[in-house]
Structure 1
Amino acid sequence: MSNPYANPNHGPQLPPQGQPHPAGPFGQPPQETAPKQKKPFYKRWWFIAIAVLVVLGAAMNMGDGSDTDTTASLAGDVPAAEAEAATGRDEATMVEADAEEAAPQETERETTASESVPREYRNALSKAETYVEMFHMSERRVYDQLTSEYGENFAPEAAQYAIDNLDVDWNEVALESAKSYQDTMAMSRDAIYDQLVSDYGEKFTPEQAQYAVDNLPE
């Protein structure tokens, strides 16, 4: 006899025949797992390691080649530099040899030219140089001293040769004479000028005397 109070919905409910059982939570269908994809070969660690080794090897080869080229270049430059230095030394030696050969010839020419001048002329020049260096005489005073019968008594031609061959700056000679008057006799500038141009004094030209006075120390 059946139970009239039995609830037909309270018992376990089975799915109708022909339908699959739900496998997911809360009756959701099960999720399908995607197949695992393989990495490309160029992302594999062994391929990256090989690529790094190849790059390092190429860089080392390039460095060795550069060093070799530099060494070869330096080795090639050394003989060229030595050759240039040797050429320079040879040229310097030739110049020195030419100078040594020319020096005696120049001395011989000077000696010959000096010997061609009469001794009296050479003596007059030597005396004139002494008067200028020691007494700061003017050109006219030197000539007068050389030709004076109370002085050196040289011939006028010898005295003129001496004057023409003196290597002096007459302005500077006048200045030295003016300094002597200033230091030893304490003369004024006007008095020094008069003494320098006087026919009874130093017989310098007005231009030479003015240069001397203008350049006297204060």
Structure 2
Amino acid sequence: MIKLTVGAIALFTLIGASIVSAQNLTGPQKNAVRSAESYLRIGGFSREGLIQQLASSYGDGYEVADATVAVDSLSIDWNEQAVRSAKQYLSMMGFSCNGLIEQLSSSVGGKFTRSQATHGAEQAGAC
């Protein structure tokens, strides 16, 4: 039997799904996790965008199911990813507040939720 402290229980409660999931990942899913972590080191990604990158034949070519499990096994702050992505867009060109929100939330752009895109644009200083 494992004995957990209150702090460990709180931490497990916050990231417990990731801990349990990480232990049960298949080989391809573990590799997809490593790929996802690499992508996250170089840029801001939405959940949908990261899954698409991992599953794309132009990206890594993982099965969508494996890419999804891999991404969902990680503890990722999607709002922070939206801020990172917004800053990347702003470093390349100017955007109005609404224009950046549209770019971040577009199905052909960042693929963030509208809420995440708004947060990203605001925190990056576009609004």
With structure 1 as the length reference, what TM-score do the two structures score? 0.45
1:162 is the counterpart of 2:61: no
Cα displacement (A) at 1:199: 0.9
Residue matched to 1:138: 46
Displacement of 1:180:
1.4
3-state SS, counterpart of residue 204 of structure 1: coil
The amino acid across from 2:106 in the alignment is S
Partner of 2:81: 173
Contact 2:43–2:84 (CA under 8 A) maintained in structure 1:
no
Deviation string 1:38-66 (CA, Å, 9 cap, x unpaired) is xxxxxxxxxxxxxxxxxxxxxxxxxxxxx
Alignment correspondent of 1:213: 121
Partner residue, 2:4 = none
Question: Which gives a bigger RCO, structure 1 or 2 (Cα 8 Å, sep 6+)?
Answer: 2
Selected match of 1:182 from 77, 90, 101: 90
Q: In the aligned structure 1, how far is the partner of 2:101 from the partner of 2:72?
A: 25
Question: Any runs of at least 4 consecutive aligned residues in structure 1 with deviations exceeding 2 A, and if so which?
Answer: none
| RMSD, aligned α-carbons | 1.9
Counterparts in 2 of 1:41-56, with a 5 A limit?
none
Unaligned runs of 5+ in 1: 1-109
One-letter amino acid matched to 2:49: R
| Shift in Å, 1:203 | 0.5
Q: In 1, are the aligned partners of 2:33 and 2:70 still within 8 Å (CA)?
A: yes
Alignment partners' CA distance in 2, 1:133 and 1:167? 14
Superposed displacement of residue 123, structure 1? 0.4
Gaps of 5+ in 2: 1-18
Larger radius of gyration, structure 1 or 2?
A: 1
Corresponding pairs, count: 106
How far apart, in 1, do the equivalents of 2:25 and 2:107 lie?
A: 32
In the alignment, structure 1 residue 193 sits paired with structure 2 residue 73: no
Question: Residues 59-112 of structure 1: CA distance to partner in whole angstroms, max 9, x if unpaired?
Answer: xxxxxxxxxxxxxxxxxxxxxxxxxxxxxxxxxxxxxxxxxxxxxxxxxxx9xx
- The CA distance in 2 between the partners of 1:142 and 1:187, in whole Å, is 23
TM-score by length of 2: 0.74
Structure-2 separation of matches of 1:132 and 1:121: 16
* Aligned-partner Cα distance in 1 for 2:57–2:87: 30
Match of 2:115, SS state, is helix
Contact 1:196–1:202 (Cα < 8 Å) also in 2: yes
How does 1:43-192 map onto structure 2 within 5 Å?
A: 114=23, 117-192=25-100
